[in-house]
Amino acid sequence: MTSVVSIAPRTIRIGSRKSQLALVQTHWVQEQLQKSFPELTFEVHTMSTQGDKILDVALAKIGDKGLFTKELELGMLNEEIDFAVHSLKDLPTQLPKGLVLAAITERENPADALVLHEKHKGKQVDTLPEGAVIGTSSLRRLAQLRHHFPHFAFKDVRGNLNTRMAKLDAGEYDALILAVAGLERLGMGDRVHQVLPSEISLHAVGQGALGIECRSDDTELISLLKKSIEHPQTRDRCLAERAFLRDLEGGCQVPIGVNTVIDGDYLTLTGIVASVDGQNLVKDTVQGEATQAEQLGTKLAHLLRKQGAQEILNEIFTHIQRGS
């Protein structure tokens, strides 16, 4: 890729979490930018976030607004770093004043994956035995799987990807549900036993894409990022998903799932809101021009709210506030 914008020589500091996956993603962004702008210097600066430090409590119980992003955002606002690379699914839909989502990279497979203990080799999610222990830290995955497979046992699992895989291989779980994209980025794609179809598990908002966040007043850098690494189709899909989530005021630890498809100029967005026990689930689909992505997300949120989504979310928020 050749340089598409003119920018004065400068050192650009990239913020990243310290996890292996975060660093793989950040170094990929660094390499793409360095190829496009050899006259610039791109440095990676790492930080630990609250979500990296608290590993013995379920995500839903510690709150998730900025759980994996707040420290990086403070670094940008304090001008310690110039932009941050996030897994887009971790980035709240409401950003702090002074920061902006500058670019969204091309999406990897956004689906969820079934990863099995070796004793279940050859099985798929619908052929696992009754009482199989399924590990997930996501209420979204938990709610959908409980809806379809109430005969499984579910157990929270935290830690980085290597830690989770070690727990699975040690026999603490029969299976884990993880993001296909994360496994593939860490060279563990061979551990995917089944890519879960959307009929079973709609993926998280933004899953599989990287979100580049920077200061809103750094127009030179925003232009550089948009013109060099942003992927327009992924951007439109993710903006629709994020508008849907934003309108429902749900964080990443609320059982909200999505699926988006772009065909030509048209975008199709499907979304669900589910109760944590999987008993109640509302689902619908909207379609329209991709240029109206955010309006489509808002439209779908309103449709689901009419079908009972707000009552489901209110109950979840009440339980979270009570710490139950």
Catalytic residues: 90
> How far is Cα 184 from Cα 296, in angstroms, rounded to an integer?
30
> How far is Cα 113 from Cα 137, in angstroms, rounded to an integer?
14
Torsion of CA 252, 185, 218, 292, to 10 degrees: -60
DSSP letter at 167 equals H
CB 256 within 8 A of CB 245: yes
Phi, psi for 188 (deg, rounded to 5): -110, 25
What stretches of the chain show up as alpha helix (H) in DSSP? 20-36, 50-53, 59-62, 70-77, 139-148, 161-169, 180-185, 219-228, 232-248, 293-306, 309-322
10 Å Cβ neighbour count for 129?
10
Six-digit token string for 264: 């030509």
CB 94 within 8 A of CB 250: no
Six-digit token string for 4: 């598409």
Opening angle at CA 302, ends 297 and 305, nearest 5:
125
> How far is Cα 189 from Cα 302, in angstroms, rounded to an integer?
37
CA dist list (Å): 260 to 92, 141, 239, 269, 320: 19, 17, 10, 5, 29
